[in-house]
Structure 1
């Protein structure tokens, strides 16, 4: 297991930065230490996950299936949910929404859409849609640090946006050892202190990014969360996605698209690798 962790990590780093010097990187390699396991709705194509004052919220994707949910963490079932379909002025040619990242600002929830260029704003108490922000490009992940919103868009860049207007302030590249990511892997985001945690799309890894420099400072290997039997039962595309932080317990909730489980974890240093031979 220890050797596998080292090999897989180096292969992933080579993919990300596109250079042969990945073995010289000094980033911290972490693993999730599981504290609790909860059921997760296997119909939920998880795009965004949010923990706020003891309540779990989830944004699920797929056109015609997208939802905004408040979830009972003990059962994995929605306490309440609204379908995310299409704009009120949609025509027959307007694509249905494909919901993406989710964040809370004040008493509102903001939910991205993949290619529609709309950020849907809801009253948190009622789930009533109260506004729509428009943006250019794609919407993937979203997080808030109590000052700015940070958004991924299917590229190697993160956008910083005004929390009140959603106006774009600046975009910055995410880098490793000074190299901009060569693969567009940034997906669901979670802001924690000076860091942004980002699911690396179609992998079992989460990157820890310094929000001031854009530098990846840590890499979390979550490949052991599901058993081989559980993975074999997953539908195509059911990858790791969804990060929510609980500041009261200093723990994270992580899951995947249509996964059967949601995990409460702490990120701890990975075991040291054993010498070859």
Structure 2
């Protein structure tokens, strides 16, 4: 609650950070049983990772129906988290198992596992590095081939560290991150960790008809070819294409 109030207050207070609202371009069906943890767009399809023990999966989705065209389940004792595309692979992490997975993007067949320290929340690619969020204000940079840590940066909003960074997506060189348990997405300069924009998606959860405290905004995907921005949430029955609006 304190995090939400701080962001809300900052969003209303003039400061050298861009503030944006949104408009809905289109909505699509989304599986309301999916505890969305990771989302990205590639070659005409959405790819989604879901969480919860015994229900975690990675799947290729049909945008128009929200249905899984192909999927691979995680072991029942693992809680799936973020995913990202690297070369011909999907790389995904788990919450507290310290184990990551690699799947072939063509058929989602397992290619191997790897280990890392700490929790796994969101992942994205920035240049040649895989970037991981873990619930702290830090983003960790790894070599995706070896998962050797390269560096860390601390994400700051108005000079203060900002934790609870969840699902990640890279758009035009900036890292976009859901802030867990809020209606906010932040845009982060990956070179400095400074937040350059704050996007307020208040009202979108209500529009989706999602209920419950766990049904929070989570999931950002970018269609670079058509310049489409998709967002959704945990247990949401809708996925949205949105456009930023009223940026100031």
The TM-score with structure 2 as length reference comes to 0.93
Q: 1:97 aligns with which of 43, 59, 78?
A: 78
Name the counterpart of 1:163.
Answer: 144
Q: 2:166 aligns with which of 184, 187, 192?
A: 187
Name the counterpart of 1:256.
Answer: 233
**Structure 2: runs of 5+ lacking an equivalent:** none
SS at match of 1:13: helix
SS at match of 2:119: coil
Contact preservation (8 Å) 1:118, 1:133: yes
Q: 2:16 aligns with which of 26, 30, 33?
A: 26
1:6-55 C-alpha deviation (Å, 9 max, x unpaired): xxx99433788xxxxx8352211112222111000001000000101111
1:228 to partner: Cα distance: 6.1
Instruction: Give 1 or 2 for the bigger CA radius of gyration.
Output: 1
1:235 to partner: Cα distance: 3.3
Runs (4+) of structure 1 exceeding 4 A deviation are none
- Distance in 2 between the 1:198 and 1:209 partners? 8
- Distance in 2 between the 1:188 and 1:10 partners? 17
1:177-217 C-alpha deviation (Å, 9 max, x unpaired): 22222xx2200000112210000000011001111110011
5 Å-filtered alignment, 1:79-228, equals 79-85=69-75, 96-181=77-162, 184-227=163-206
- Distance in 2 between the 1:10 and 1:105 partners? 33
- Distance in 2 between the 1:80 and 1:229 partners? 25
> Aligned pair 1:13/2:26, yes or no?
no
- Distance in 2 between the 1:201 and 1:65 partners? 20
Name the counterpart of 1:63.
Answer: 53
- Distance in 2 between the 1:13 and 1:26 partners? 14
SS at match of 1:159: strand
Name the counterpart of 1:275.
Answer: none
Contact preservation (8 Å) 1:10, 1:23: no
Q: Greater share of strand residues, 1 or 2? A: 2
Contact preservation (8 Å) 1:105, 1:144: yes
